[in-house]
Copies of this chain bind each other. A is one copy, B any other.
């Protein structure tokens, strides 16, 4: 389960980052951090709250969302919006990446870093626009759904 170093280490590191910014270390934040430490990839806000409640039934949603805001500010995670507009959090050291979502079968893939780079370069050149990949979800229909639908 642990990736590199024990989970307590990661949590302690975040605690220090918070303190260094004059922010505070509270039991509620510890709970959120612990949940995140054993989470990889994408989670929705609702899932996160549910898992926090499993650890501490007294968890309040607004506290979780506010903690997530703080963690995003210090760069520990990023949020985006899934195909249905619901909030989705991307945890951990994985590089930011976009998503491809099929409206037909509901499957989703991560965008390869080469494609992502091409996309970013394109917008950079044409608009001077810096794309935030973690916020990018491309919705459409995958090959399978297209062939199934229009032979």
Using a CB–CB distance below 8 Å, which chain A residues touch chain B? 81, 83-87, 100, 102-103, 109, 112, 115, 118-119, 122-123, 126-132, 135-136, 138-143, 146
Contacts and interface: CB of A to CB of B under 8 A. Distances in A.
Nearest to A146: B130
Nearest to A133: B140
A83 B80 CA distance: 9
A69 to B, nearest CB: 13
5 contacts: A81-B85, A100-B127, A112-B126, A128-B146, A129-B141
Nearest to A134: B139
Copies in the complex: 2
**Taking each of A87, A140, A146, which has the highest tally of chain B beta carbons within 10 Å of its own beta carbon?**
A140
Given A81-B81, A136-B138, A143 B122 contact: no
Contacts of A129: 100, 102, 138, 140-143
Given A100-B123, A100-B129, A128-B146, 10 more contacts: A83-B135, A85-B87, A118-B122, A119-B122, A123-B140, A127-B143, A129-B142, A131-B138, A135-B140, A136-B138
